[in-house]
A and B are shown apart, each in its own frame.
Chain A
Amino acid sequence: MILKQLRLYKNLFFHRYSSSLSTIFALATGYQIRSGVAIIRISGSLATQSLLKLTRETKLENFQPKRLYLKKIYHDKTNDLIDQCMTVWFKGPKSFTGEDVVEFHIHGSKAVASAIFLVLSSFTNYRLAEPGEFSKRAYLNGCLDLTEAEGLIDLINAQTEQQRKQSLYQMQGSLKELYERWRIDLVKSLAHAEAYIDFHEDQHIENDILTDVINKVKVTYDSISLHLQDHRRGEILRDGCRIAILGAPNAGKSSLLNILTQKPTAIVSPIAGTTRDVIESTIDLGGYPIVLCDTAGLRITNDPIENEGVSRAFDRANACDLLIIVIDISTLSINENLTEQIDKHLSDLFTIKSSSFNSITKLIVLNKIDLVNENIQLKFNQLNVNVIPVSCISSVNIQEFLSKLTKYIAEKCTEPSFTTPYLTNERHRIYLTQTVEDLSMFLTLINSNNDLVLAVEYLRLATRSLGTITGIVYTEELLDVIFRDFCIGK
């Protein structure tokens, strides 16, 4: 009896709080979702909003609790169709978490899941669930008994372990460095702003410190926004990995395309400049969807049509995830260092339209090895790993080329970056977007408003959002910076 009362009391107590908690969402079926069906679970007092908004229904009465409905779901702003899926909702407290719970049983595609995540994170008071948060809420709301909790702990352990692995430590060097730099910049800016607030008047901190902060934040803001826009996030798996084939005229680009597409997609002729426009074809290589673009040979020309083709080739190449550069090996001198010659050839090619493609991965194909002396083949083992000699005509080394290409694409698709919307990175993207939004609020407020605290609060929020990805920024870290950079007395 007493126990029952206690429980009731506890439920009442938590109910009071839970009504004011954020609504959380996550993929309930785990992050490995190359599967038939994946379930997105949403829990919280505002959960049913998502059901109505995504399905474009107006009345909740149209959905009976605990019953599955087949619905089309749409982006709430752009009205794009996202997926057709089963939806169900459970009315709290008779649900897993004890709160209102909505589930979308979507197709197990990363593209669909990430599109829905995007929409959900834009709702007010919605946020991505922390690991184990559903279970925690269930437990707190008295909906989970001990045995159930026993089983869940392993799952959560596994989940957080996976997350830790997928976190910054496992990232590719460049991305890790980038995030770390933003983090350091923001911590420093925030610490300086905090020092200005707390110590400016009695410890004489210079007034221009705030101008420095604003400028630094602007730089960080720009580079995070650029980072978010720069990559066609979410599109690769929906639209395929984009690969452009580049090279000087008559190097054999179209022949390579035809080998890859296994049909005469492009006209092949010994006449330089046969391909003028960008030729696209979609293929499947090792299970990865690929959009291949054959381009006009790169050279300086007076022919306006061919010139336009060259420009298009560059434009297209810039938007690609991977470049295959074809070089006619017979144009290289056999007696000199091949690597140096290749580098020179590349820079000659790219400077035609003053590009460098530094940030794009390149695979270099030395074509027409059937035409050269066998002596040169002894030098092939000195080549860089991204260079592969082949012959399109006699199909020499083509298999090796294909396996290397597949490997590159696989790397591209598993590399945790924004080019691949793996859901763990979707999480990063949500927090980065939040960071950018808060930074922009900071910049607006600090320029228009007299209330410095209000502006700095957004800088704090931004730092915290970024901290969710890169590691939480504790006050002690800020104080370290403050005391290191300013002379603060007793």
Chain B
Amino acid sequence: MFKIQRYNLRSFHLPNLITTTHRWLTTFSYDSLLKLKVDSTPIQGIVKQPINCSIFQPYDVVVVGGGHAGCEAAHASARMGVRTLMITHKIETIGEMSCNPSFGGIGKGHLMREIDALDGLCGHLCDKTGVHYKVLNRSKGRAVWGYRAQIDRKLYKQAMQNEILNTSNLHVMAAAVRDIVIDKEQLRITGITLDNHTLIPCQSVIITTGTFLRGCINLGMDEQKPAGRINDQPSIDLAKSIEELEFRMGRLKTGTPARLETKTINFSKTIVHQGDNPPLPFSFLNKHVWIKPEEQLNCHLTMTTAELADIVRRNVHLSRHVSQDARSPRYCPSIESKILRFKNQTHPVWLEPEGLDSELTYPQGLSCTLPIDVQLRMLRTIPSLENVNMVRPGYGVEYDYIDPREVKPSLETKRITNLFFAGQINGTTGYEEAAGQGIIAGINSACKVLNKPMFTISRGEGYIGVMIDDLTLHGASEPYRMFTARSEYRVSLRADNADLRLTQAGYDIGCVSEKRYNQFQTFKTNYNRAKECLQNIKKPVHIWRHLLNSPSESNTYRDDTLKSLYSLVHQAPYMMDNGKWLPLVPDDEGIRSMLLSDNDLCERLCLDAVYEYLTIRQKNEIDEVKRDEAFIIPDTFDYQKLQISNEAKQKLGEVRPTTLGSASRIPGVTPATIFCLLRALKKEPQSSLLNI
């Protein structure tokens, strides 16, 4: 009877509001509705939680949570030009790095580069807050280089808050969310209520509450208290509301190690690891990071001993995480499980600095939930930590997560229109995984408001796509963490080419700024010109040998095969040795001088040449995947009517894949089933089968 219309807040009319908020009229006085005024001036900064106000001003998008997913989501949505409100318990904890003081790593670094290619925040912020930059995997090939940095917690938080509070179209409010408000008939978000029952009408809601959904801290067997992070409130009401909507939920565990007082550590007994010189920036926008190479802090490596293993084994009954392990993850989240599951008695412990002026050190690899006294005894068995002071004990967190099969690849829930989940709540672990989902949820919630098609990244386009596809198809039985092994197109999805893969699409949808886009365009033009030029210089192999002064084979047999300079630049011994091949590039169009002045460009050309053969081989497959992804399966599709095996019906019904492509990736779904599905899809009345 009531047809809810999309309303654009910039031209907000009261009659529209009355229809959309019909349900509330019974609860709220008409007076309060009249007070509603939509401000068309740009919004920015902190907005106070309303007191004595039953309905607050409406927003397009409300982001619940100010963690890494929330920040990226809110910022992306604001970048897209829609009025966004971020609600978080405390302004001071926005951008808090609640566990390890580092960003990036193998796989995770790839995610950060992709977020950056979409104009996200984390990479760019890490370039101005890091204290120790190190690219992992340097010896194993560029496709798996892992950009990583130790970050100064305080600086990062400040930088993030500075960014969030100075973004136009983005308001920030310190408040607790009590509930989401939905139109029960249309199953669609209409707003949220705060703990003082104030209603904030909005079109989309992104929930990024991390471990705060019925979060519960474990410290030994006796101490167990509800909290998302130590000293922070969990969101119990919200969890109830989500449960009432019958979302499938599960419970996961994570942990964090003790924090140590730096001056009580005897670093002389450790192996020192210095940062890279020069340190490489995360962001495509930056050529350098903020810190001087020599001013970087060091990381230190030490190993646990048999004595520690002994203490752990004797006290295992005191660890709640281990004793309750019904469905434990396959990897080892805590030192207890490392000791219990593997025979080797020693495990690496990385002593990581928490920041430039921080007194604390973070012992990576020592997450545990043992009682405080046992933790201290355990720590002091480790070489270099004999006299250590434990400033804060390690603890475990148990929290609710949503079965990510409840969300679509756009991160919108399948049950409630315009409700999005992003981050740890979807069963992932890690800042980068959260941020990657945040940016997608932010973009898509804005797309909903702007009536744009959903923005998704396929498995062939990025690690963000791999992560979301894995989550939405297979769920998360353990906290999901990104590895490069998860991508079948690893040589195509590299950290170095994230901009070529995503920036254009990001610009087209509207989440990439003109500044970045212009820089990207310049780079792309130069890159294409140089590549074309190198591909067009063709000479017989023996001539090349002569020209390139190849040491051993220069005088051997004559080889008349024509090869382009491009096909040679990556081969040892010329690889990366720009001095050798650059003089052979003609300078008539200024290409040589361009290459000479741009070392990055040379490097990326060489890299592309290295992986060229396999990327072309993979491109066919990626295109085939893309084509299948273009076939949308409607939300309401009834699998029961298909003439397929019951097993296949059950599997498809459980996962409810959103495209033909994702359906075909479900284990056990045969080609015949897919064909059946394809045929049935054609019968569907919808004309929008194709997602173009």
Q: A residues engaging B (CB < 8 A)? A: 3, 6, 9-10, 13-14, 17, 20-22, 125, 130-133, 135-136, 139-140, 146, 149-150, 152-153, 156-157, 160, 194-204, 449-454, 457, 460, 472, 474-476, 478-480, 482-484, 487-490
Whether B342 and A487, one on each chain, are in contact in the complex, defined by CB atoms closer than 8 angstroms, is: yes
Whether B350 and A153, one on each chain, are in contact in the complex, defined by CB atoms closer than 8 angstroms, is: no
Whether B333 and A454, one on each chain, are in contact in the complex, defined by CB atoms closer than 8 angstroms, is: no
Given pairs A454-B141, A454-B611, 9 additional interface contacts (CB within 8 A)? A131-B672, A135-B675, A198-B483, A202-B136, A452-B139, A453-B140, A472-B667, A479-B483, A484-B330
Q: B residues engaging A (CB < 8 A)? A: 105-107, 136-137, 139-144, 146, 254-255, 330-334, 338, 341-342, 344, 347-348, 350, 364-365, 367, 429, 470, 474, 481, 483-486, 488, 490-491, 572, 610-611, 614, 619-620, 623-624, 626-627, 630, 643, 667, 670-672, 674-676, 678-679, 682-683, 687, 690, 692
Contacts of B481 in A (CB 8 A): 490
For chain B, what secondary structure do more than half of its interface residues adopt (helix, strand, loop), or is it mixed?
mixed
Contacts of A476 in B (CB 8 A): 474
Contacts of B486 in A (CB 8 A): 475
A133 to B610, alpha carbons, bound, how many Å? 32
Option from B334, B350, B484, B572 in Cβ contact (under 8 Å) with A202: B350
Contacts of B485 in A (CB 8 A): 194-195, 197-198, 475, 478-479, 482
Option from B146, B342, B671, B683 in Cβ contact (under 8 Å) with A146: B683
Whether A17 and B141, one on each chain, are in contact in the complex, defined by CB atoms closer than 8 angstroms, is: no
Contacts of B348 in A (CB 8 A): 202-204
Option from A156, A198, A199, A449 in Cβ contact (under 8 Å) with B675: A156
Option from B141, B333, B667, B674 in Cβ contact (under 8 Å) with A450: B141
Interchain residue pairs A-B with the least CB separation, the first 3: A453-B141, A483-B330, A451-B141
Whether A490 and B142, one on each chain, are in contact in the complex, defined by CB atoms closer than 8 angstroms, is: no
- 27 A-B contact pairs sorted by A residue (CB < 8 Å): A3-B687, A9-B690, A17-B623, A17-B626, A17-B627, A20-B620, A136-B671, A136-B675, A139-B678, A152-B675, A153-B672, A156-B671, A156-B672, A157-B672, A160-B672, A194-B484, A202-B136, A202-B350, A203-B348, A451-B140, A451-B142, A452-B139, A457-B614, A487-B338, A489-B331, A489-B333, A490-B481
A130 to B10, alpha carbons, bound, how many Å? 53
Whether A13 and B690, one on each chain, are in contact in the complex, defined by CB atoms closer than 8 angstroms, is: yes
Closest to B643 in A: A153
Closest to B338 in A: A487
**A490 and B429 contact, Cβ closer than 8 Å, known pairs A22-B620, A454-B611:** yes
Closest to A195 in B: B485
**A21 and B137 contact, Cβ closer than 8 Å, known pairs A13-B630, A153-B675, A487-B332:** no
User: In this complex, which of B364, B470, B627 has the most chain A Cβ atoms within 10 angstroms of its Cβ?
Assistant: B627
A21 to B628, alpha carbons, bound, how many Å? 12
**A487 and B610 contact, Cβ closer than 8 Å, known pairs A17-B623, A202-B136:** no
Closest to A449 in B: B572
Option from B332, B367, B623 in Cβ contact (under 8 Å) with A488: B332
**A490 and B143 contact, Cβ closer than 8 Å, known pairs A198-B485, A454-B614:** no
**A453 and B365 contact, Cβ closer than 8 Å, known pairs A132-B671, A489-B331, A490-B254:** no
Whether B675 and A488, one on each chain, are in contact in the complex, defined by CB atoms closer than 8 angstroms, is: no
Whether A153 and B671, one on each chain, are in contact in the complex, defined by CB atoms closer than 8 angstroms, is: no
Whether B330 and A479, one on each chain, are in contact in the complex, defined by CB atoms closer than 8 angstroms, is: yes
Contacts of A201 in B (CB 8 A): 106, 136-137, 146
CB distance from A475 to the nearest CB of B (A): 6
Option from A6, A22, A136, A457 in Cβ contact (under 8 Å) with B678: A136
Whether B143 and A453, one on each chain, are in contact in the complex, defined by CB atoms closer than 8 angstroms, is: yes
Whether A140 and B627, one on each chain, are in contact in the complex, defined by CB atoms closer than 8 angstroms, is: yes
A472 to B667, alpha carbons, bound, how many Å? 9
**A9 and B692 contact, Cβ closer than 8 Å, known pairs A198-B107, A487-B338:** yes
A482 to B486, alpha carbons, bound, how many Å? 12
Whether A160 and B619, one on each chain, are in contact in the complex, defined by CB atoms closer than 8 angstroms, is: no
Whether A457 and B675, one on each chain, are in contact in the complex, defined by CB atoms closer than 8 angstroms, is: no
**A20 and B491 contact, Cβ closer than 8 Å, known pairs A451-B610, A487-B344:** no
A146 to B679, alpha carbons, bound, how many Å? 7
A149 to B429, alpha carbons, bound, how many Å? 45
A84 to B671, alpha carbons, bound, how many Å? 34
**A125 and B342 contact, Cβ closer than 8 Å, known pairs A197-B144, A454-B491, A489-B365:** no
Contacts of B491 in A (CB 8 A): 453-454, 457
Contacts of A9 in B (CB 8 A): 690, 692
Whether A450 and B671, one on each chain, are in contact in the complex, defined by CB atoms closer than 8 angstroms, is: no
A136 to B106, alpha carbons, bound, how many Å? 38
Contacts of B344 in A (CB 8 A): 487
A152 to B671, alpha carbons, bound, how many Å? 13
**A488 and B331 contact, Cβ closer than 8 Å, known pairs A194-B485, A197-B144:** yes
